[in-house]
Structure formats: C-alpha cells, structure tokens
Amino acid sequence: MSVLYSWFAILGTGVLAASMLMGFRYDPSAPAIHYAYNAGLFVGYMAVHYLMMTPAFKNLVAKSPQGSAGERRFYMFVAIVTWVVLYALHWPLPGIGYELPIWVTYFGYCAFLMSFFAFNEGATFDNLKAFAGAHGTEQTHGAALDAPLQTRGSYASVRHPIYRAAVCLGLSSLLINPHAAQLVWVAIIGVTFVSFIPIEERQLIAGRGDEYRQYMEVTRYRLCKGIW
C-alpha cells in the first residue's frame, strides 16, 4: 500500500497543473446557469478542504492540532480525489473567446512549463513523496514540529513560493486558452490560494511560535516580493 500511495501522490501533484492547462470547458452557446453550477461544485470542494485544514480536524485525525504524517497522507488523498471529481463534473461555460497568434500561445506554453518547475521546486520523485508524507520519508512541509521549517531557496524570497507558482500557472494558461471559461477557472484558483495563506500562517504560528515569527520578520512578503 505504501508504494501504491507514493505513486498516487506523485501523479496527484500534477492534477492542479493538468487541470489548469486544460482549463474549464468552453462553449459559447452554453447557458449562463452553468456558472452557478460550477460555483456550487467549487464551494463544495472548498468546504471539505477548509475543514481538513482546521486544528480541530487535525487533532481528530492525528491527535495533534499541528497534524502528522498520517494526517498529511489523508489530506493529500482526499484533496487529490475531490479535485479530480470537481474537474470531471464541471459544466462548460459561455462567454467571450479570442484567437491569439501562435507565437503568443507558444510563449504561454513556455511560461506554463517554467511555472510548473517552480511549483514543484525542481523536486525529484523522492522529494514529492516526502511532500505527500509517504511512508518511509521524513515530512518536509507542514506545521508539525517534526517537519523542517522551509526558509531557503525560493522560501527566502517569499513565504509561499508554491502559491506564487500556482498563480503564474494560471496567468500563463490564459495565453493558451484565451476565453472566459479559463479566466473564471484561473480567478477561482488564484483567490483560493491567496485565501489559504492567512489560515496556514495562523497554524504555523500556533505550531512554531517564535521560530515562524522570526522567519516572517526576515522574509516579509507572502506571495510577491515588494508587493505583498
């Protein structure tokens, strides 16, 4: 089972990028009510996701408000499965669409690829297994005290470089799929990641205390250096 979960987690780390590249289905003739349906799907996904991020849920699963490797595996499994379900069940959206020159689309693919590398931080398969809390690995991300506090590399520039890369994935995907459905998809994901930041930082302060406060003083910006 541990090997099966490891490969599931590795493939799962690509679901966000894959769905961003493909985008929401676009159909200019689709009824506008599809916007409400897709919004409802996403609210349902987020309700589950936010619940799993709460200290109360972590305490229930891991007997610790900071979580554990087992809780991390459960979180990753549910997050990946529900994201795939969300993408599979969404309906096509209407709206404006554009035909961009091929060189613009080419640039979009290049920017998307660079953002994908940034999202995974050049990770190897072993790094991705550790990120997902696979058996036999040391936890690398999270509020738990047994996970190291990430402060080097891209984390020395901003406190949430993975979220920054996700936003860049979305922006570059608009050059690949220049239509209203993609814009809505990108906006939803961007707002979601930004909304995660204060929640995660509260958990990190609760779990790490002065260690994380000192990191916040040294690395002032959350998402974009010089702005926020």
What would the two tokens of residue 160 be? 């949430």
What would the two tokens of residue 172 be? 């570059």
For 132-171, the pLDDT digits (tens) are: 666 666 665 655 556 677 778 788 888 888 888 888 999 9
Measure the CA–CA gap between 198 and 204, rounded to whole angstroms: 10
Query: Looking at the predicted structure, is the pLDDT value of residue 122 above 60?
Result: no
Which among 178, 125, 123 has a CA at the least distance from the CA of 150? 123
Measure the CA–CA gap between 9 and 80, rounded to whole angstroms: 8
**Those residues with Cβ within 8 angstroms of residue 55's Cβ, 6 or more apart along the chain or in another chain:** 65, 66, 203, 206
- Sequence ranges of the domains in the chain: 2-218
Share of the chain above pLDDT 70, in %: 87
Averaged pLDDT of the chain: 84
For 53-86, the pLDDT digits (tens) are: 888 888 887 777 767 777 888 888 888 899 899 9
Which DSSP string corresponds to 141-194?
SSSSTTSPPP-SGGGGT-S-HHHHHHHHHHHHHTTTS-BHHHHHHHHHHHHHHH
Rg, C-alpha atoms of the chain: 18
What's the whole-number mean pLDDT along residues 3-31? 86
**Angle, helix 2-12 to helix 69-89, in steps of 10 degrees:** 50
Report the range of poorest mean pLDDT among 26-30, 62-66, 188-192.
62-66
Share of the chain above pLDDT 90, in %: 29
Architecture category of domain 2-218 in CATH: Up-down Bundle (1.20)
Report the range of poorest mean pLDDT among 6-10, 81-85, 112-116, 193-197.
6-10
Q: For residue 157, how far is the Cα from the chain centroid? A: 19
